């Protein structure tokens, strides 16, 4: 009986520490892409392991995905400057960037729907709440189901474009969209969270030399 109580106390202490708010650190997540189109699915499987490393500090974050097929993709979100910079170093296309203003107009907000669901999900000891979202932009609708925790104070690429309608950082997410007539599903799950010091220099949203503006190509 005494051993059971000790184990229960240890488990409870782990849950409490897991819910501690983190404003600076590193997050590792894995992505899985799938489609009913057999030809496209075969190409997706050739991409192999998809893993993203996110460094965050306060209202800024920097995510990096490095894959032999997609190349190196870096996304920097600086909420204070209301900017999102994406750098792409692709084996076929070379070095390109996009720089977006993430502040939204009233018209943008009309195309964003966010509903808090009734479900919860525990990821790495964090209790996450369900949010169901839909974004329509340039004629394309993206539907997402996210499970977020307010214990991590960091913007993500998905939440930064929702105009503050969603609280927390997503630790599990399913995104559905139609690209050129093909239905796609992307599942993202956080696999590791570390509290550590992060340099503010990583959140510079000035495009580096050698990168071409994708919109001008």
Residue 179: partners with Cβ closer than 8 Å, 6 or more residues away:
140
* Maximal C-alpha separation, the chain: 70
Percent of the chain at pLDDT above 70? 90
Residue 73, Ramachandran bin (φ over 0: left; ψ between -120 and 50: alpha; else beta)? beta
pLDDT(196) > 90: yes
CATH of span 21-199:
2.50.20
Determine phi and psi for 214, rounding to 5 degrees: -60, -30
How would residue 148 be classed by pLDDT, with cut points 50, 70 and 90? Answer: very high
Among 2-11, 138-147, 204-213, the least confident range: 2-11
Q: Which of 81, 79, 134 is nearest to 109 (CA)?
A: 134
Nearest 5°: the CA angle 173, 177, 181 is: 155
Output the pTM of the full model: 0.81
Report the sign of the C-alpha dihedral through residues 187, 151, 166, 66, in that order.
Answer: negative
> What is the Rg, in whole angstroms, of the alpha carbon atoms belonging to the chain?
19
Report how far residue 143's alpha carbon sits from residue 133's, in angstroms, rounded to the nearest whole number.
6
Average pLDDT, the chain: 83
Weakest mean pLDDT among 72-76, 79-83, 93-97: 79-83
CA distances from 44 to 33, 75, 94, 118, 180 (A): 7, 21, 21, 33, 16
Q: Token digits for 190? A: 């956080």
Does the structure show a pLDDT above 50 at 100? Answer: yes
Which of 82, 183, 177, 75 minimizes the C-alpha distance to 136?
A: 177
User: Is the per-residue pLDDT at 80 higher than 80?
Assistant: yes
Within 8 A by CB and 6+ apart from 210, the residues are 95
Q: Residue 125 above 60 pLDDT?
A: yes
What's the DSSP call for residue 160?
Answer: G
Where residue 48 falls among pLDDT bands split at 50, 70, 90?
A: low
pLDDT-derived band at 200 (thresholds 50, 70, 90) equals very high
CB 187 within 8 A of CB 177: no
> Which stretch, 70-79, 100-109, 176-185, has highest mean pLDDT?
70-79
């Amino acid at each position: 009986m005494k051993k059971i109580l000790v184990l229960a106390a240890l488990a409870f202490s782990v849950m409490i520490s897991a819910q501690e708010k983190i404003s600076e650190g590193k997050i590792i997540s894995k992505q899985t892409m799938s489609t009913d189109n057999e030809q496209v699915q075969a190409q997706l499987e050739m991409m192999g392991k998809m893993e993203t490393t996110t460094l965050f500090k306060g209202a800024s974050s920097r995510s990096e995905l490095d894959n032999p097929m997609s190349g190196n993709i870096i996304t920097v979100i600086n909420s204070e400057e209301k900017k999102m910079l994406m750098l792409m170093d692709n084996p076929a296309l070379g070095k390109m960037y996009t720089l977006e203003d993430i502040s939204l107009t009233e018209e943008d907000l009309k195309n964003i729907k966010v509903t808090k669901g009734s479900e919860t999900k525990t990821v790495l000891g964090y209790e996450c709440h369900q949010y169901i979202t839909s974004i329509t932009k340039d004629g394309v609708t993206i539907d997402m189901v996210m499970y977020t925790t307010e214990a991590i104070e960091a913007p993500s690429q998905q939440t930064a474009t929702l105009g503050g309608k969603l609280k927390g950082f997503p630790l599990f997410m399913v995104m559905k969209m139609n690209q050129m007539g093909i239905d796609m599903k992307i599942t993202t799950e956080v696999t590791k969270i570390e509290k550590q010091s992060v340099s503010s220099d990583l959140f510079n949203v000035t495009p580096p030399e050698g990168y071409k503006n994708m919109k001008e190509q």
